[in-house]
Amino acid sequence: MLALIGGTGAGQPANLQITNRLVVRTPYGDPSGALTFGEVAGRPVVFIARHGYGHTIPPHLINYRANIWALTQQHVTHIVAIASVGGIRADMSPGTLVVPDQILDYTWGRKQTMFEVGEHPVTHVDFTEPYNAELRAAMLDAAQQTQVKLVDGGTYACTQGPRLETAAEIRRIQNDGGDMVGMTGMPEAVLAREAGVPYATLAVVSNWAAGVNTSQKRIVMEDASEIVRQSLSGGVYEILSQLVKQGQS
């Protein structure tokens, strides 16, 4: 069964035919909300809203461990995380869809592991390639099948939030090799790796990052949210439906 994690602007998928919801308790506390079960293209899918169903949980307070644990207890085979990002690279203008292949982590104070001190031996997971290659390839193939333009590759820079970045911070991220910037990619990706579940991100570029577009004086979140809404209905859901049809469930 495929698991979907929805981010800012990506609430319950419009193509999800709901069958039931489940409240899950975890050893790490409460997840962001109940798990929503349903079908996409006739196949089972489970969904969770990363920020809560009322979008009330800021990025730095999301219980990433509880969310990933709750999904893995449903024996999911893959996790696709939908995330809105600011574009830094020239080909990542608002409305672009991207499947990133690398991560830069600028967050702090977030619980980064399922393996707490004293409960498990020290555990190191290989994170050379943070996103699952096979799942990324499947998403790219699904995009090709549905004729939805999808950028292959790019480095997702994860910042702490909830404030947006300064222009100077974006310049630093760009110098570090970051191509897009978001606030929720970590530790979600590494927790999925610890859980042994293939994980990949489908990023929606909602706006230019601070200072990238010199004609943009400030970032208007209402405009960014509208870009995400249009991108979801104009390509994301098509890719996800095709992905499920191809057997990623």
183 labelled ligand-binding: yes
What is the pLDDT at residue 248? 55
Complete DSSP assignment for 132-174: -HHHHHHHHHHHHHHT---EE--EEEEP--SSPPPHHHHHHHH
Contact 33, 70 (CB under 8 A): no
207 is in an annotated binding site: yes
Report the pLDDT value the prediction gives residue 11, as an integer from 0 to 100.
57
Domain that holds residue 158: 2-245
| Alpha helices in the chain, H assignment, sequence order | 64-72, 133-146, 167-176, 188-195, 221-231, 237-245
Query: Would the annotation count 8 as a binding residue?
Result: yes
Structural domains in the chain (count)? 1
Q: Are strands 102-105 and 155-158 parallel, antiparallel or unpaired?
A: parallel
- Residue 146 confidence (pLDDT): 92
Q: Is 50 marked as binding a ligand?
A: yes
Q: What span, in angstroms and rounded, lies between the C-alpha atoms of 109 and 142?
A: 36
- Distance CA(141)–CA(63), nearest Å, equals 32
Q: What pairs with residue 5 in β-bridges?
A: 48, 81
Distance CA 133, CA 149 (A): 19
User: Would you call 200 exposed, middle or buried from its count of C-beta atoms within 10 A (0-12, 13-18, 19+)?
Assistant: buried
3-class secondary-structure state, position 121: coil
Q: In the 8-state DSSP scheme, what is residue 26?
A: B
User: Which pTM value belongs to this model?
Assistant: 0.92
CB atoms inside a 10 Å sphere around CB 16: 20
- Which pLDDT value is given to residue 23? 95
What CA–CA distances, in Å, run from 14 to 94, 143, 206, 220, 232?
21, 18, 19, 25, 9
Residue 160, CA distances (Å) to 8, 29, 61, 137, 184 in order: 15, 21, 10, 29, 8
Which regions in the chain score pLDDT beneath 50? Answer: none
Alpha carbons 205 and 196: distance in angstroms, whole number = 28
**Six-digit token string for 158:** 């994860």
Encoded amino acid at 116, one letter:
E
The answer for residues whose C-beta is within 8 angstroms of residue 147's C-beta and 6 or more apart is none
Q: What integer pLDDT is reported at residue 77 of this predicted model?
A: 94
Written as six digits, the tokens of 40 are 């996409």
We report the CATH number of the domain holding residue 117 as 3.40.50.1580
